[in-house]
A and B are shown apart, each in its own frame.
Chain A
Amino acid sequence: MEATQETGNLTGIRQIILVLSGKGGVGKSTVSTELALALRHSGKKVGILDVDLCGPSIPRMLKVQDKAVHQCDNGWVPVFVDQEQTISLMSVGFLLEKPDEAVVWRGPKKNALIKQFVSDVAWGDLDYLIVDTPPGTSDEHISAVEALRPYKPLGAILVTTPQADKGGADEEKHPTRNLLIFLKMKSCYSVVSFAFLYCKVEESELDKQGQLNCGQPSNLASSYISVPNTSK
């Protein structure tokens, strides 16, 4: 089934945002989840599309890993995270027979599923659809952006860390920025994960809040970097 603008499933979505990073383990899924929760808190209806087929983290983060998806006339019904149905989620995690089952697919098969995820999930009306991506700059990213392009995504959130080989101190040369240029996407914001870290001291020195730090910031973050919005 081709994804066209006449297909109903994405026409009820006001804004589509992708969450990207060239590097793994920087916090994309965490940021996607936190963003969805924050938007819900401000009264918005949010959907999350998890296109990380090899390592789908979002179901567990939202404690819905044991749920299953159902079919309806328009395709798959996404899993609702709450009774009020304010956050819905689609992930390959829901299609696995066992949670530890590995999805060992080459690019073409992954591309086919991503196209289906974009066109065949009955999202209904949403204020935001957040698309969480896997690490890398490959099939999933190209396919997701191509499938979403007719629906004019708002742009991308880049997640990075201060460490030089992950984020890059020179904002002009950020490798993920190259990915955005390749995909012809606008960057909305950049999020720097793992920016600060403090240690906790022994329990005997706990303060009233139940935790205390000895005030020593770790050198995990030597500096906080900020990558400004790129213009199209």
Chain B
Amino acid sequence: MEAVPQDCPGTSSAQAGRGASCQGCPNQRLCASGAGAAPDPAVEEIRAKMRTVKHKILVLSGKGGVGKSTFSAHLAHGLAEDESKQVALLDIDICGPSIPKMMGLEGEQVHQSGSGWSPVYVEENLGVMSVGFLLGSPDDAVIWRGPKKNGMIKQFLRDVDWGEIDYLIVDTPPGTSDEHLSIVQYLSAAHIDGAVIITTPQEVSLQDVRKEINFCHKVKLPIIGVVENMSGFICPKCKNESQIFPPTTGGAEVMCQDLKVPLLGKVPLDPQIGKSCDNGQSFLTEVPDSPATLAYRDIIQRIQDFCGLHSSKEEKLISC
């Protein structure tokens, strides 16, 4: 990984091994022989590893700062409240891993065992993996180019000893780039239940989210639905609702109608959500009667229903 040249065209590109920047790269001969274009053996290894994982959910958004990590963390907490379920949360935001802090796991380290890396456990039935656990300090910046990030994601999927899991939630960084292509590619043989796409009501977010929806269509990733975050702010003093991010073009509701994807729900902006995340606690248990908690719980139930419907369809196919 370290020897990849700065302008590497990519091992599966038509220019692999042939480009000017390939001169002197130790992998040049390999790429030029076309080996790079062959299917990555890791895909098959990951498929085998993922056999013990019942449901895989990606949390995506074209836009940054809309609440993907917040939602992923609370989806994990919500699902793990049922102690009979095993839940895993994988943070593939390599540059800005927020999950360790949100789950109260800052400073934790990953351990190696004979069967691979062990995730860090918040509860007995909730395990977490993030690049944040591999850094020397929580404030270190991870400034990696695409190929190195892809290598890390491959390792997370192939080398982490997840065990038997009911739900694997994958938190992603904003955008439609290396990390997103890699996670879809590496899990391609293992089957992803679907993606939950997060947005905020304003058009500047929606225009990026529409691209994300198109990305899902392009890579044939089913969309479980869209969540509109920061949808209205209720003043703790006078209880009035203000629109901090006015839905000038109709918000997620109109976008979902136009693009024919389900709207899973709208979550209002509650300052206590941010506070819980900063303190590494579950907002669902800290502030159980907030309208935001009720919205989250409703959305989590709908996601569970989607996954349940999908597994019963699969069982029908197998039993036929």
Contact = CB atoms under 8 A, between A and B. Distances in A.
A102 interface: yes
Main secondary structure of the interface of A (DSSP, over half): loop
Nearest to A165: B101
A45 interface: no
A19 to B, nearest CB: 13
A229 interface: no
A54 B145 contact: no
Interface residues of B, number: 63
A107 B233 contact: no
Given A100-B211, A104-B181, A215-B237, 5 more contacts: A55-B64, A101-B211, A107-B177, A108-B13, A138-B178
Interface of B: 6-10, 13, 62-66, 94-96, 98, 101-102, 137, 139-147, 149-150, 173-178, 180-181, 203-204, 207-208, 210-215, 218-219, 233, 235-238, 240, 242, 244, 271-272, 274-275, 277-278
Interface string A94-122: 00000111111111111110000000000
B271 A136 contact: no
A10 interface: no
A216 interface: yes
Contacts of B8: 108
Contacts, number: 188
Contacts of B65: 23-26, 135, 166
A138 B144 contact: yes
A110 B215 CA distance: 16
B233 A199 contact: yes
B304 to A, nearest CB: 28
Interface residues of A, number: 58
A118 to B, nearest CB: 14
Which among A135, A138, A222 has the greatest number of chain B C-beta atoms within 10 A? A138
A105 B177 contact: yes
A219 interface: yes
Contact of A163 (B175, B203, B236, B274): B274
A61 B248 CA distance: 13
B95 A57 contact: no
Interface string A43-58: 0000000000111010
Which among B63, B66, B139 has the greatest number of chain A C-beta atoms within 10 A? B139
